[in-house]
C-alpha cells in the first residue's frame, strides 16, 4: 500500500486525538469524527470501492 494513502489517515487520527486531549470534543464526537473522516478518505482515495465506503458508517455507527 502506498504511503500517500496512509498519510491522510494519520493526519485524521492525530487531529481527532489532539481535539480529544484538549477536551474540545467528547468521546462520542471523536468516534463520529473518525468514522466520518475515514469514510471520506476511503471515498476520495477509492481505496475501497465507493459503494462499500458509503455503507461503512451504517456498519460502524451501531458498534459504538
Q: Which tens digit of pLDDT belongs to each residue from 7-28? A: 888 888 888 888 888 888 888 8
What is the pLDDT confidence band of residue 3, given thresholds at 50, 70 and 90?
confident
User: What residue spans define the domains of the chain?
Assistant: 3-63
Show the CA angle centred on residue 43, arms to residues 38 and 29, nearest 5°. 30
What is the pLDDT confidence band of residue 1, given thresholds at 50, 70 and 90?
low
**What is the spatial distance between Cα 63 and Cα 50, in angstroms, rounded to a whole number?**
21
Amino acid at each position: 500500500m502506498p504511503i500517500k494513502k496512509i498519510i491522510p489517515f494519520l493526519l485524521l487520527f492525530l487531529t481527532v486525538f489532539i481535539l480529544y486531549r484538549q477536551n474540545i470534543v467528547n468521546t462520542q464526537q471523536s468516534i463520529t469524527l473518525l468514522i466520518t473522516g475515514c469514510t471520506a478518505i476511503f471515498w476520495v482515495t477509492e481505496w475501497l470501492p465507493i459503494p462499500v465506503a458509503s455503507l461503512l458508517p451504517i456498519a460502524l455507527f451501531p458498534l459504538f
